[in-house]
Amino acid sequence: MWGLAAAVPLAFLGLFFALPVGSLVLRGFVADGGLDLGGFAEVFGRPRTWRIIGLTLAQATVGTAIAVLVGIPGAYLLYRCQFRGRAALRAFVIVPFVLPTVVVGVAFRSVLAPSGPLGFLDWDGTFAAVVAALVFFNYAVVVRTVGGFWAHLDPRAEQAARSLGAPPWRAFLTVTLPALTPAIASAASIVFLFCATAFGVVLVLGGTGYGTVETEIWVQTTQFLDLRAAAVLSVVQLVVVAVALGTAGRARARRERALQLGRPERVAHRRLALRGPERSAGDLLAVGVTAVVVVVLLALPLVTVLVRSFRTPTGWGLGNYVNLGTTGGSNALSVTVWEAGLNSLRIAVDATVMAVVVGGLVALVVSRRPRGRGTRRAVRALDAVFMLPLGVSAVTVGFGFLIALDRPLGLDVDLRTHPLLIPVAQAVVATPLVVRTVLPVLRAIDSRLHEAAAVLGASPGRVLRLVDWPIAARSLGLAVGLAFAVSLGEFGATSFLARPDRPTLPVVIFRLIGRPGAENLGMALAASVLLALVTASVMALTERLRAGAAGEF
């Protein structure tokens, strides 16, 4: 039975990820019918290659480090403390995660350009601007992953340390922080993958001299069709990703199981103590850091988008929102924005169903702790393999689909043009997030419960239904929300599969912002606000559904 549970997700990943990516990379290494690895020497011989590898690593490392550093106080505040407006703030921080990069790029640059409000920083087209945007996108990943875990952490250990005389900072550093390590490692690995493969923001904000492995793969594949160079760079990307995943996996494994988790309603949430005798320096610091991040980094670009969405050619007003029911200034679009929104929702439903089924199965299999050493290793490998789609270029996947999915494996369907391919591509990206959400919850189940149930005569199916399901179901709401959000915002792979008569919301936003005229720009921004609102609502809804999940993400 476990074999089958592993086989379904593996078949899915194999057909829709490994086969396309493998085919494209292989094509780069095959010349005149033989294997040709000369590309390695050639690509590594260029000084530019080393520069972009260095820049990619620097960008991902710095971006991840800052996102984690500012995300931990945010996680504390949003998941460990009680204050008014907490639910709204939780929904708000996820919005950047789904906004189309082209809109964020324009919003960031409007703020950072010499004529913008932060023009004095002189950050336009710099490394700092790229890192700021990466933190903008990934802040929510850290806050949710670490926060979701922290909300369940038994506070008694820290309280004990305090009553034994440890100052708060010491209790935090020696007790709480080590306990949070698995969640922090998990968040850092996801953020690292997102940062290492960022494309749109790097192009827009990094300026022209800036190049990363991802942008280089894009240029070599789409502009020069130099598959040899692209294949070498894809291998480089895979190596970087594998090392990052391995490191994070070890950090996670070391701390797992030694945790005491409680249901959040039983874990006392503290009221913020910013004034009076209870005043805590730690709380002040957390509030300070979070306020700066939320106001300057998150809100400033978002408010820029919001404010400009109300500016029409004839003054301020709702004109751009009224126009969402049209096809744009002189038909920039083939459908109205509302229709595109509906397409997005339908596709997101399909993608979510697939991601939750596949991701749920993976999490279930990986949560088992088989006795055999080899099986245990296989289970760990399964976990890592499903993270890979986050770390591989969307161009490689998109082009790979085209060469690999024409009647694949003897099936008599041309999957390349099948309408289901868009939700499938999005589900491949959403699956790792589902796994990271559901897995820690399943892992926290005491295996003695399984054994006890089995000893008492329950069949394996019954054990699953009565032991695992009730617990895992609690994290399902959050997993559904995340998968939905990923699907709504996905642009990379979707843009290679889009059908002009059935575009998604990010695709029409991209098209509108690629047309001249205040009307089209206004509509693009209004549509972005719509996308943000839909996402925030879905997240707020699933937040209510989670009812006590200890998700890593």
- Per CB under 8 A, which of residues 404..423 are in contact with another protein? 406, 413-414, 416-420, 422-423
Return the range that interacts with another protein (CB under 8 A); candidates 57-65, 187-195, 360-368, 501-509. Answer: 501-509
In contact, 460 and 382? CB cutoff 8 Å:
no
In contact, 285 and 73? CB cutoff 8 Å:
yes
Residue for token digits 């596709």? 347
Chain Cα centroid distance, residue 175: 29
Closest approach of Cβ 100 to another protein, in Å? 11
Q: Is 375 in the site for another protein (CB under 8 A)?
A: no
**In the numeric block, which tokens belong to residue 295?**
């106001």
- Per CB under 8 A, which of residues 125..144 are in contact with another protein? 125
Cα separation of 542 and 87, whole Å?
11
Closest approach of Cβ 280 to another protein, in Å? 27
Closest approach of Cβ 331 to another protein, in Å? 5
Q: Is 514 in the site for another protein (CB under 8 A)?
A: yes
Cα separation of 259 and 484, whole Å?
30
Closest approach of Cβ 52 to another protein, in Å? 13
387 vs 422, which CB is nearer to another protein?
422
CB burial of residue 331 (10 Å; 0-12, 13-18, 19+): exposed
Q: Which of 300, 428, 511, 535 binds another protein (CB under 8 A)?
A: 511
**In the numeric block, which tokens belong to residue 499?**
């059908």
Q: Is 352 in the site for another protein (CB under 8 A)?
A: yes
192 vs 321, which CB is nearer to another protein?
321
Nearest one of 77, 270, 282, 251 to 172, comparing CA atoms: 282
- Per CB under 8 A, which of residues 181..200 are in contact with another protein? none
Cα separation of 80 and 77, whole Å?
6
Closest approach of Cβ 334 to another protein, in Å? 5
Q: Which of 3, 34, 47, 115 binds another protein (CB under 8 A)?
A: 115
Closest approach of Cβ 502 to another protein, in Å? 8
Q: Which of 93, 104, 294, 476 binds another protein (CB under 8 A)?
A: 476
- Per CB under 8 A, which of residues 72..101 are in contact with another protein? none
Closest approach of Cβ 202 to another protein, in Å? 9
166 vs 269, which CB is nearer to another protein?
269
Residues 6+ apart with CB under 8 A from 248: 185, 186, 188, 189, 192
HSE, side-chain direction, 13 A CA sphere, residue 331: 2
Cα separation of 247 and 245, whole Å?
5
Closest approach of Cβ 98 to another protein, in Å? 18
**In the numeric block, which tokens belong to residue 205?**
């904000």
Q: Tell me the sheet residues that pair with 312.
A: 315
Q: What is the pattern of x (binds another protein, CB under 8 A) and - over residues 278-317?
A: -----------------------------------xx---
Closest approach of Cβ 446 to another protein, in Å? 4
Closest approach of Cβ 30 to another protein, in Å? 13
- What CA–CA distances, in Å, run from 12 to 71, 241, 386, 387? 33, 21, 10, 14
Q: What is the pattern of x (binds another protein, CB under 8 A) and - over residues 518-547?
A: xxxx----------------------xx-x
236 vs 497, which CB is nearer to another protein?
497
Residues touching another protein: how many (CB under 8 A)?
97
Closest approach of Cβ 110 to another protein, in Å? 6
Q: Is 517 in the site for another protein (CB under 8 A)?
A: yes
Return the range that interacts with another protein (CB under 8 A); candidates 5-13, 135-143, 375-383, 505-513. Answer: 505-513
- Per CB under 8 A, which of residues 226..285 are in contact with another protein? 257, 259-263
In contact, 345 and 424? CB cutoff 8 Å:
no
Cα separation of 381 and 202, whole Å?
31
Nearest one of 174, 224, 163, 176 to 72, comparing CA atoms: 176
Q: Which of 26, 57, 81, 113 binds another protein (CB under 8 A)?
A: 113
In contact, 384 and 13? CB cutoff 8 Å:
no
326 vs 495, which CB is nearer to another protein?
495
Q: What is the pattern of x (binds another protein, CB under 8 A) and - over residues 16-55?
A: ----------------------------------------
* DSSP collapsed to 3 states, 188-210: HHHHHHHHHCCCHHHHHHCCCCC
Residue for token digits 């099948």? 418
Cα separation of 98 and 490, whole Å?
7
Q: Is 209 in the site for another protein (CB under 8 A)?
A: yes
Return the range that interacts with another protein (CB under 8 A); candidates 243-251, 295-303, 431-439, 495-503. Answer: 495-503
Q: Which of 187, 195, 302, 498 binds another protein (CB under 8 A)?
A: 498
Handedness of CA 487, 489, 492, 498 (dihedral sign): positive
Q: What is the pattern of x (binds another protein, CB under 8 A) and - over residues 425-444?
A: ----------------x--x
Q: Which of 42, 516, 533, 537 binds another protein (CB under 8 A)?
A: 516
Cα separation of 350 and 491, whole Å?
16
For residue 277, the one-letter residue type is: P
127 vs 168, which CB is nearer to another protein?
127
Q: Is 329 in the site for another protein (CB under 8 A)?
A: yes
Phi, psi of 273 (to 5 degrees): -115, 95
Q: Tell me the sheet residues that pair with 261.
A: 153
Nearest one of 99, 92, 95 to 509, comparing CA atoms: 99
